[in-house]
Amino acid sequence: MKNKLKRLIYLEEYISINGIKQFMFHLGTSYDNPVMLFLHGGPGSVESLFTCAFQEKWEEIYTVVHWDQRGAGKTLTKNPDKLPTIDLILQDLFEVIQYLKKKYNKQKIVILGHSWGSVLGSVFIRKYPEEVAYYIGVGQVINMLENEQVGYKKVKELIEQADDKRSMKRLEKIGEYPGNKIVFNKKFLKKCDEVRKLQGKYKLGMKIDLALWITVFKSPIFKFSDIIAFMKIFQANAKLHSFLGEFNLSNEPAIYQVPIYYILGGNDWQAPYIIAQKYFEEINAPNKNIYVIPNAGHMTMMEQPELFFDALLEINNTEVKNKCHFIQKSEDIAYDEYLESKVR
């Protein structure tokens, strides 16, 4: 039974976005709740298949919409030759938000970006701040090259401390990593895959194991074609990987026109939390806050779901209070202007 929780909002659909049919999965309990668009990682690694592992409580305060991006998941399966560039996917995202605003009668949408989604989300909110109520970055990527440098150094440090000779031999076989520039070719991807496995072993990053695949297979929307799509992500997202390799948020002033929230895993060294933490200090935004979740790695919301939800609840409550304060202030100003007009 797909909608086993009897959610008021439960919808799988393909919508025409920027010339192709793209997949969205909606879950929620009230049409009055704010709409959160979840931007998945990768590029190409959809997280619509993991909703049952972490999202149940979220749906009490948000209508959560997962979108399989161009070049990913069910959207890739339906459009195997319609592959993404950064300009295409930004336009896709803009159109997805217009659709959601109209469907749910909202003026703005909340964006949560995880890993690659945090790159896409950060670029989008700079370009279209008027479309976004606020932004939540999870596994936030600041500088891709620095990510790999710091993450590699950390796993090497732990391997040395553990006197893990077998893992040290694997590191030595990798050789220089990541180099002075990231180019997502076969050679780099092979090295990166080995580093990720070692990070997973030491609980520093996402671990792709049997438990993860069982979660996928239990998803109410899982199809075997999703596995085939996952196997194609590097080829399908080659142009996005090129953009990602050179990505560095610090190249521009850390000035944002929307509230910014970061939820980071205190043991995330795949997108090292210490880099995002340092960058966050520089952020100038209407409102901001940062949450570092202990004993959580790159899949923060799955590894510490209760603490993650507590952070989301606090963020939502803060934004509700801010909105009420803004409305009250606007009403006070309007009333003062009315009184002044009477005096005249």
Residue 248 confidence (pLDDT): 96
Distance of CA 291 to the CA centre of its chain: 15
Residue 263 confidence (pLDDT): 98
Using the structure block, give the residue that is written with the tokens 């909340």.
110
Half-sphere exposure of 219 (CA within 13 A, CB side): 23
pLDDT in tens, the chain (344 residues): 588 778 999 999 999 999 999 999 999 999 999 999 999 999 999 999 999 899 999 999 999 999 999 999 999 999 999 999 999 999 999 999 999 999 999 999 999 999 999 999 999 999 999 999 999 999 999 999 999 999 999 999 999 999 999 999 999 999 899 999 998 888 998 999 999 999 988 888 777 777 888 888 899 999 999 999 999 999 999 999 999 999 999 999 999 999 999 999 999 999 999 999 999 999 999 999 999 999 999 999 999 999 999 999 999 999 988 877 555 555 555 555 556 665 55
Closest CA to 91 of 127, 64, 48: 127
* H-helix or E-strand spanning residue 264: strand 260-265
Residue 209 confidence (pLDDT): 76
pTM value is 0.91
b/e 41-56 (16+ beta carbons within 10 angstroms → b): bbbbbbbbbbbbbbbe
* H-helix or E-strand spanning residue 17: strand 9-17
Cα–Cα separations (whole angstroms), residue 115 to 45, 224, 271: 10, 24, 7
CB neighbour list of residue 31: distance below 8 Å, 6 or more residues apart = 8, 9, 63, 104, 105
Residue 75 confidence (pLDDT): 98
Residue 208 confidence (pLDDT): 74
Residue 80 confidence (pLDDT): 95
Using the structure block, give the residue that is written with the tokens 């030595």.
172
Distance of CA 139 to the CA centre of its chain: 7
